[in-house]
Structure 1
Amino acid sequence: MKTIGIIGGLSWPSTITYYSTINCLVSSKLGPDHCAELILVQADFKEILHWIRTKEWELLGNKLLALAKHLESSGADFIVIACNTVHKALPIIEDKISLPILHIVDATLEKIRQLGLKRVGLIGSPLTMTDEYFAGRLTDHQVEVVTPSEEDQKIIHDALKKEFVQGLFLPETRDRFKGVISRLVEEGAQAVILGCTEFGSLLKGEESPVLLIDTAIVHCEAAVSMMAIV
């Protein structure tokens, strides 16, 4: 079993999702007494959030690199970052560390390919919904991406900023998100990507009018596959 290195704290609710999902997947493969061999490092989300808001990607990249180096020296075999948005800074560090970093968008793309989808909706942080780091990586592989209107993007952003990062997942917010997803379906989305690693704590597949692709879950599934469990 290879050892997973997790960069978490982006924010802490998503770190919990990664920890529990990866261990559940390992247990389901090997038996109930087994758990994952992993190393977890965590950043202060307030610091990360400041650099995202001010677009100081070099500073963010340097922080991620320091965390990745810590995982490398601690014995990790590969790395996952428990956040979509900070993957924007990944090109800054990829060539500066010897360990492979499993990209969250690549894991999502593989799931889309398995499902045979051609047009998907995408919800996430403001950067995830507007920057090419995510959608561009999909369109490069002939997957069309539909994003919410500006009004719906504000609904999502407000929930992220005021609720999710504090671990709050409210029923009324769930209803608003269902409305956003329904409008993406009206625009032809065959599925909707939950492009923020906290979203799966708000909305489950059976509560959605369309198939949901939770990036946190598919990222964890890809990580467990990469562990080469035999």
Structure 2
Amino acid sequence: MELNLAPFDVDGTFKANHLHHIEHACIATAFSLHALFAILLDKFRPTKHESNIDIGHFLVTMAFTQELLLFHFHTTDHVGLEGQYHWLLQQIVLVCLIFTLLSLWLPKSFMVCYVRSLSVIFQGLWLIVMGYMLWTPEFAPKGCGLRKDNYGRDVIKCSDEESLHRAKALVNILFSWFFIGMMGFGVSFYWSVSKIFEVNNNELMEVGVEEGDCCTSGEDNQGFLQGKRVLPFDLEK
């Protein structure tokens, strides 16, 4: 979609007002390649070693690194309100990158995988928030509005410094609300899933099935599925 906006000029060079579209397309391409190779590695398994998972972690690490660099050196405004949204987004991407790197050394750590998953969800939510808040005129803070920049882009501009500082403070508060919401969601989801696993484990113990036993043909090689039951799965093992 980004590249369908005619980013090339008549002489074949990139248009200045479309450079940010090309940057977004590069980010999307990196994650698409990671997804493609992750599916292929999981389906065909060129080796039976755990290096297949490590390669997947390496690819997504490279994708997060590119995303962080492109947003850090983004061609759009890093000074105004849009820059504040991008700066906060960089912090989330950095957390995703750090915990993905940790996955290379601690691939079986539950907390590393869980925090990484929550940070990816947080990044997706914040991108959606940016899409609505930056390009919906009704959501512009008081004293600010959508205007054309030097390249003809619609961006939020504030009338004075006081309005800009107030708008940035509102962005920080909005980010804090979502951060608190992710804290509540993370603990609540973990608690709910733990209860489900605990109930299934109790049911299995009542019928004399030990955790991890491969007792039926319906169970997979990892001891994760058994018919319609979900057996407790310990990442640390």
Structure with higher helix content: 2
- Rg bigger for which structure? 2
TM score, norm. by length of structure 1: 0.24
Structure with higher strand content: 1
TM score, norm. by length of structure 2: 0.23
